[in-house]
Amino acid sequence: MKKGKFIVLEGPDRCGKSTQAKMLLNYLITQGNDVILTREPGGTRTAERIRQIVLEPGLSVTAMTELFLYEASRAQHTEELILPALEAGKTVLCERYTMSTCAYQGYGRGIPLRIIRTLNRIATQNLVPDLTLVFLMSDKYFTERGEYLYSDRLEREDIAFRKKMRRGYLNMIKRTPNAYLVDADKDIMDVQTRVQEILKEHGI
């Protein structure tokens, strides 16, 4: 039985969610929580191997293969790491989960959302986050933040793709219980303050 809280950090590439996840991890530890930070794709040895395949630049991966690889990583990660940690009463912070697949493979690549939702349910064994924080920034920041960074296969997608995803995230926030939009254009510390406020509102 699930006892711990499952908190997911979502958003487009370079929205600052990794920085915020680390800050949140430190905050929760100082508050005395037993907490782990993990990520998708990846999080376990097998799922990290799947991550390498799905993100390798230049590798030919069809949209459907990509979808199955993300779901395969999720199935492994959920069963091997996330569910046991929640059952042990730990708080689990996860960078990306099912909403990313709807945003990228659904809204972005155009795979029907009903197919993705079905696969999500299978891969997650119906686990849903207690809280989803969606970090969204304006396009201007994506280019500025990305200029000096290595780009993986997904990050090389064009601006039209990112616009579709952004619209997707906004739609999903409206229809997902306990999902919050966090304005990622703000200063790092202000973003973290907002994140901690949302957690407190949820008694975490």
Specify the residue, 40 or 179, whose C-beta has the smaller distance to ligand TMP: 40
φ, ψ (nearest 5 deg) of residue 151: -110, 125
Pick one of 78, 101, 124, 192: the residue that binds ligand TMP (CB under 6 A). 101
The CA distance from 93 to 162, in Å, is 24
Q: Is residue 154 at the binding interface for ligand TMP, with CB under 6 A as the rule?
A: yes
Contact 192/20 with Cβ under 8 angstroms? Answer: yes
Specify the residue, 6 or 70, whose C-beta has the smaller distance to ligand TMP: 70
Q: Is residue 41 at the binding interface for ligand TMP, with CB under 6 A as the rule?
A: yes
Contact 126/76 with Cβ under 8 angstroms? Answer: no
Binding mask 69-88 for ligand TMP (x = CB under 6 A): -x------------------
Specify the residue, 31 or 125, whose C-beta has the smaller distance to ligand TMP: 125
Contact 173/107 with Cβ under 8 angstroms? Answer: no
**Cβ neighbours, 10 Å, residue 102:** 22
Pick one of 104, 135, 169, 180: the residue that binds ligand TMP (CB under 6 A). 104
Pick one of 13, 43, 92, 179: the residue that binds ligand TMP (CB under 6 A). 13
Give the tokens for residue 28.
């929760």
Strand (E) or helix (H) holding 146: helix 139-146
The CA distance from 177 to 199, in Å, is 14
Pick one of 155, 161, 181, 186: the residue that binds ligand TMP (CB under 6 A). 155
Q: Which residues bind ligand TMP (CB under 6 A)?
A: 13, 39-41, 55, 70, 96, 100-101, 104-105, 154-155
